[in-house]
Structures are given as C-alpha cells and as structure tokens.
Amino acid sequence: MVDFSFTDEQELFRKAVREWTEKNLPIEKIREMDSQGRIPHEVLKSMGEMGLLIMTAPQEHGGTGADWVTACIAAEELGYADVSIALPVLWLVESSWGYVVDRHCSEQVREAVIRKAIKGDAFIGIGSTEAGGGSDVAAFKSTARKQGNDWILNGEKTYISGTEEAKRLGGGYFVIARTSPAPPEASHRGMTGFYLPMNAPGVEINKRYDDMGRMAISTGGFLMKNVKVPDSNRIGEVDKGFYLTMEGFDTARILIAAVCTGAARRALDIGMEYVKERKAFGKPIGKFQGIQFELADDWAHLEALRSLTFRTAWMMDQRYKEDRFTPLEVSKMIAACKLIAPHFAFDVYKHAMIWLGAYGYTKECPLEMGLRGIMSYCVGAEGATNIQRTIIARELLGKEYIAYK
C-alpha cells in the first residue's frame, strides 16, 4: 500500500521548526540581515540547539540522524520564513556538504569542523567552482601533490558561498583537486576531495562578490598557495573525489528544491492575502479570473513540485538506508527537482509581484528579496539548469548520448 502522509514525528517536527522561524525570523529580522549582510551568530547557535544543523549526520557524530524527508521539511519551512533565502542557503550548504564530508572523513576532520558546525560554531561549505567554469568539474585546474604524509594544494576557487562566514566563525571547505593525470576516456577520474581549513597557511581569500540577492551570506573566492594539509584531511579515496562531489551536489539539490517549494508557498500566501483585500473596479482583485487562474495554476504546480520533491527525498532515504535505488536513479530524480524548482519559485514571486501592482515593486514589500535570492539558483548555484537537463538526458538516452564526450 502507498502511504503519502508524513509521520506524527515529522508533523511535530514541522510544527517545532515553524514555531522557531516565527519567533526568530520575523520579516524585520530578515530585512536587517539582508541590509547588514550577515546572519547573527545567535541565530545559528539557536538552530544548533534545535538540532537543525547538519541534522542528517548520525547521532554519534553530533547530528540527529534525521532522514532526508525530515531535512526537506526543515528546508521547506526555512524557505518559507526567510524570503531572502540567505539563511536557507547557509543551512543547506552545510547540511549537504557537511553530511558528505562527515560520511567520508577522518575523526580528526569530524572533530575539527563537523561537530562544531552542528552547534553553529563553524562553517562548512563547498569549494568546487574555478575561474574557468563551474559546470565542467572534470576540467578543474587545482592540484594536490602528495608529500610524505601530507598533501600540497594549489589553485583558485571562486563564486564560493560563505567565505566571510568561514573566516568569521572558523571552518572551511570540501575542495576537489587533481591528484593523478586524467585518462583520456575518463577526465573525471584522478581527482580527490579534501577538507581545507580556511585558517591553513597559504589560504587567502582574494574576492568578495557584490551579489544581487541573499545578501546575508557572502560569496567570495580564495587562493590555495602551497597549502599543506595532512592525509587525515583527505575525504574519501584518492582519485575518487569526483563521485563525492556528485554525491554532495545531489544532497544540496534536493534541499534546494524543498527550499524553493517553501519560498513559492510564501510568495503565493503574500499574493493571496493581497488580492483578497485590494480593490479595483469596485471589487477585490481576487474576484477577477485573470488573477484567479494564474494563482490556481501556481498552486497546482506547487503541489506537483512538492510531491516530486518529497518522493525524491524518500527515494534518497531508501538509497542510503537500504540501497533500494541506484545513486544514478536518484540523481536523475534530483536533477528533475533542481531543474524545475528554482524557476518555478521565481515565477511565483514574479506573479505575486505583479498582483501587488506598484507596491510589489517597492522594497517595502518583501517579494523583491525573494526574487533576488531565488535567482541565484536559477543562475546556477549548486549546478546550472542545463546541467540538470544533461543528467536527465544521460539517464534517459544512455551515456553514449552525452554531448561533450
């Protein structure tokens, strides 16, 4: 029998997260974070106390051992609460990459960053993208050379979320670097994952971007100049880092989809409240079908997206717990979620903004923060839209149809 309901525990968890967001993330606080360009440390500490940070990490590592459906419930509630989506971004970057690092790291790395990040006292992010491009991971130029029991890292990473947070709170990044020459037929082989602490000698933050949105989390870049890290900072097996990077993208993308469902629901709620009150031609504008139909379409698509997202999160749980689906089957579904969710959420914000007329275009109205924030996921944070299409087409047609091979 198919059962699409959440468990009582999951419903209670949703209620607790909602109460937390209502108390800690009122709209005035979001505006303050957006204009000041930072998330207060006490907000992260409070999330840590609630067990919200890297919550899928096992209890023995400091997490709550939550499943991915439960993590998506948190993502949805955070996406609803923080219209700017800065806090959901920070949360999901840590939740996904922290989870993958924790799964494959040494006890030293766990002590150095994971346990602290779970309490809100450190930041862990992803340092994948390079100046030459982010989509073609196999073409990255950063290198890691073995020297005794250490590795020497060189290269540059750019458009990286959380560089200022990592500097301020402590912590670092999962980075991927080439460790062996690539065989011509498989350029993705020969790359290895490492934990790079931002305070390691030779790490230099060299950029801070002035982004369009999600202002309360920084985006920057850093150089690695002969950075020495011990072998215990290696994440996973030598030359297998590409696969860990793909695992991390999968975990991030499902959470993005859930954040976007929350964000879209918020825009719809703001829009619905307004169209019931605002009058034109003697009637509430919600009485006009021109508005009703778009609103009904958005709601229907939102329900479809939520079903796809939570079904995919459930598949992810089966993959991790029972090996029931292959990683590629799950990746295809996740790519479908990431393909649809940000563009859909962006459209709902745009529609609601238009229903709100001139007021919708002002900074007094929270919708503009949503539009600016969501756009980062349309552009490509955690993987460009066309890359999601490439993954889906590869799984549908077969590897021999990959365009760039």
Ligand X SMILES: Cc1cc2nc3c(=O)[nH]c(=O)nc-3n(C[C@H](O)[C@H](O)[C@H](O)COP(=O)(O)OP(=O)(O)OC[C@H]3O[C@@H](n4cnc5c(N)ncnc54)[C@H](O)[C@@H]3O)c2cc1C
Cα–Cα distance measured from residue 343 to residue 261, given in angstroms and rounded to the nearest whole number: 11
Q: Which stretch binds ligand X (CB under 6 A): 54-62, 131-139, 194-202, 366-374?
A: 131-139
Task: Identify the sign of the CA torsion 336, 241, 93, 214.
Answer: negative
Binding marks (x or -) toward ligand X, 235..274, rule CB under 6 A? ----------------------------------------
Are 134 and 159 in contact, with CB atoms under 8 Å apart? yes
Binding marks (x or -) toward ligand X, 85..124, rule CB under 6 A? --------x-------------------------------
Cα–Cα distance measured from residue 191 to residue 136, given in angstroms and rounded to the nearest whole number: 13
Beta-strand ranges (E) seen in 104-202 are 123-127, 143-147, 150-161, 171-178, 191-197
Cα distances from 25 to residues 28, 32, 173, 401, in angstroms, run 8, 10, 27, 46
Are 225 and 73 in contact, with CB atoms under 8 Å apart? no
Among 316, 381, 391, 394, binds ligand X (CB under 6 A): 381
Among 64, 95, 161, 309, binds ligand X (CB under 6 A): 161
Among 13, 159, 325, 346, binds ligand X (CB under 6 A): 159
Among residues 331 and 390, whose Cβ is nearest to ligand X? 390
Cα distances from 234 to residues 187, 215, 275, 370, in angstroms, run 20, 32, 55, 37
Among 62, 127, 220, 366, binds ligand X (CB under 6 A): 127
Question: Does residue 198 touch ligand X according to CB under 6 A?
Answer: no
Are 116 and 122 in contact, with CB atoms under 8 Å apart? yes
User: How many residues bind to ligand X according to rule CB under 6 A?
Assistant: 27
Question: Does residue 4 touch ligand X according to CB under 6 A?
Answer: no
Residue position matching structure tokens 């890290």: 229
Indicate the residue type of 160.
Answer: I
Residues numbered 321-350 forming contacts with ligand X, rule: CB under 6 A: none
The torsion angles phi and psi of 69, rounded to 5 degrees, stand at -65, -45
Interstrand relation of 191-197 and 234-235 (parallel, antiparallel or unpaired): antiparallel
Cα–Cα distance measured from residue 239 to residue 184, given in angstroms and rounded to the nearest whole number: 15
Among residues 128 and 331, whose Cβ is nearest to ligand X? 128
Among residues 200 and 378, whose Cβ is nearest to ligand X? 378
Q: Which stretch binds ligand X (CB under 6 A): 263-271, 275-283, 358-366, 372-380?
A: 372-380
Among 192, 218, 251, 376, binds ligand X (CB under 6 A): 376
Residue 167 CB neighbours (<10 A): 18
- Closest-approach residue to ligand X (CB): 134
Q: What is the DSSP annotation of 351-390?
A: HHHHHTHHHHTSTTSTHHHHHHHHHHHHHTTTS-HHHHHH
Question: Does residue 386 touch ligand X according to CB under 6 A?
Answer: yes
The torsion angles phi and psi of 74, rounded to 5 degrees, stand at -60, -45
Question: Does residue 133 touch ligand X according to CB under 6 A?
Answer: yes
Are 39 and 87 in contact, with CB atoms under 8 Å apart? yes
Cα–Cα distance measured from residue 178 to residue 193, given in angstroms and rounded to the nearest whole number: 9
Question: Does residue 84 touch ligand X according to CB under 6 A?
Answer: no
| Min CB(164)–ligand X separation in Å | 12
Are 281 and 247 in contact, with CB atoms under 8 Å apart? no
Among 219, 233, 309, 331, binds ligand X (CB under 6 A): 219
Q: Which stretch binds ligand X (CB under 6 A): 71-79, 112-120, 130-138, 147-155?
A: 130-138
| Min CB(216)–ligand X separation in Å | 12
Among residues 302 and 387, whose Cβ is nearest to ligand X? 387
Question: Does residue 206 touch ligand X according to CB under 6 A?
Answer: no
Among 300, 328, 379, 397, binds ligand X (CB under 6 A): 379
Question: Does residue 194 touch ligand X according to CB under 6 A?
Answer: no
Question: Does residue 380 touch ligand X according to CB under 6 A?
Answer: yes
Question: Does residue 399 touch ligand X according to CB under 6 A?
Answer: no
| Min CB(59)–ligand X separation in Å | 27
Among residues 165 and 298, whose Cβ is nearest to ligand X? 165
Q: Rg of the chain over CA atoms, in angstroms?
A: 21
| Min CB(261)–ligand X separation in Å | 20
Q: Which residues bind ligand X (CB under 6 A)?
A: 93, 125-129, 133-135, 159-161, 211, 219, 376, 379-387, 390, 403-404
